[in-house]
Amino acid sequence: MIVKKVGVVSVAKIYAEISASVGVLIGLGFALASMVGAGLAENSEISMFGPMLGVGAVIVLPIFYGCMGFVGGAIGAALYNVFAAMVGGVQIDVEQG
C-alpha cells in the first residue's frame, strides 16, 4: 500500500490537537512555576501577578500551540502531497486482522 495523497485539513486537525495537548502541559508547567515564584516573592504586589500569569498560560498556550499546529500541519500535508506526486509517496505494509 502506498500513500500518495493525504487530506490537508485532516492532518492539520491532528497536528492542532497534538500541539494543543503539548500547550496544556507547557501551560501547567508555567502555572506551577508562577505559583512557586509567587510563594517566594516578598513584595505582595508582585506575588499577585504570578497566579494570573499561570492561569493565563494554561488558557493561552494551548490555543496558541493549537493554531500553530494547525498551520504547520496544513503546510506539512500540502508539501507531502506535492512531493509524493513527484517521487511516489510512502510505502506502508498493512495486515488485515
pLDDT digits 0-9 by tens, 20-76: 999 999 999 988 888 787 777 666 666 677 677 778 888 999 999 999 999 999 999
Please name every residue paired with 91 in a beta bridge, in sequence order, or none if there are none: 2
How far apart are alpha carbons 10 and 18 in whole angstroms?
A: 13
From the number of C-beta atoms within 10 Å of its C-beta (0-12, 13-18, 19+), residue 49 rates as middle
How far apart are alpha carbons 27 and 35 in whole angstroms?
A: 12
pLDDT digits 0-9 by tens, 81-96: 999 999 988 888 888 8
Q: Where are the domains of the chain?
A: 2-91
On the question of pLDDT at 19 being above 90, the answer is yes
Q: Amino acid letter at 18? A: I
Element spanning 76, H or E: helix 49-87
The three cell numbers of residue 49 are: 501577578
- pTM, two decimal places: 0.78
